[in-house]
Amino acid sequence: MKKVSSIITIFVIVIIASLIVWKVGTPNLISKNKENTTEKVSKKVEKELKKTKKKKEISKAKSSTTETSSSVESEPSSESSSESASSVSSYQSNVKFPALQNYAGKTYYAVDRDSAEYPQMFSTSFTITSDGETIIMDDVQEPIEYVRTGKFGPVQLGGGPVFVFEFSPLGSSDEVEVVNQGQYLTYSTTMPE
């Protein structure tokens, strides 16, 4: 009976010892498996990166050869188009609003202002600055924030909370007719005598 009980205790001790060894050894095995797995994955990723780099280099080489050939062919046409675009932009780039191109930089003087029904409604002169950003009326400068043009040539300038100024060309840009609350007055670039 003592032999059987001693055998059982030895057997139990062996089982407990093997459980302890298994518990302690399992995390090491798991971490080794993880390391092996990450190494394999990183190697695969490196291989894929190398493949894609090679493909990109090949496609870059192909595209650079086609780009050089196409750029050589299109050089004359691009030069002529850029020249024409620059000449157009230099004509219009110095004026903020293209509708003011013909009027910018000119001073207009009231023609026979005293004959108007309400002369105080009209300034003696006005100037649209050469950049088209401001209008000067009787030495008062107002910023132009918007420009609207009508079907038959009237030009309306506006800015600030209350500033509105409207005129229409009379034959040429050297003579215009200013409209103010239903009243009209002619202005000319030539100063009246």
CA distance 116 to 183: 8
The pLDDT of residue 107 is: 92
Q: Are residues 69 and 128 in the same domain?
A: no
Do residues 55 and 127 share a domain? Answer: no
- Asked if residue 89 and residue 3 are part of one domain, the reply reads yes
Domain count for the chain, please give it.
Answer: 2
Q: Are residues 19 and 78 in the same domain?
A: yes
Is 21 inside any structural domain?
A: yes
Residue after which a domain boundary falls, among 58, 93, 128:
93
State if pTM tops 0.85.
Answer: no
Boundary (domain end) residue, out of 93, 121, 154: 93
- Per-residue pLDDT of the chain (193 residues), as tens digits, is 677 788 888 888 988 888 887 777 666 656 565 666 666 666 776 777 777 766 666 666 555 544 444 444 444 444 444 444 333 434 445 788 888 888 889 999 989 888 888 888 888 998 989 888 888 888 888 888 888 887 667 888 888 767 788 888 888 778 898 888 888 899 999 887 7
113/89 same-domain check: no
What pLDDT sits at residue 132? 86
Residue 193 domain-assigned?
no
Q: Do 124 and 109 have their domain in common?
A: yes
Q: Which domain holds residue 167?
A: 98-188
> What pLDDT shows up at residue 82?
41
Give the residue from 69, 93, 117 where a domain finishes: 93
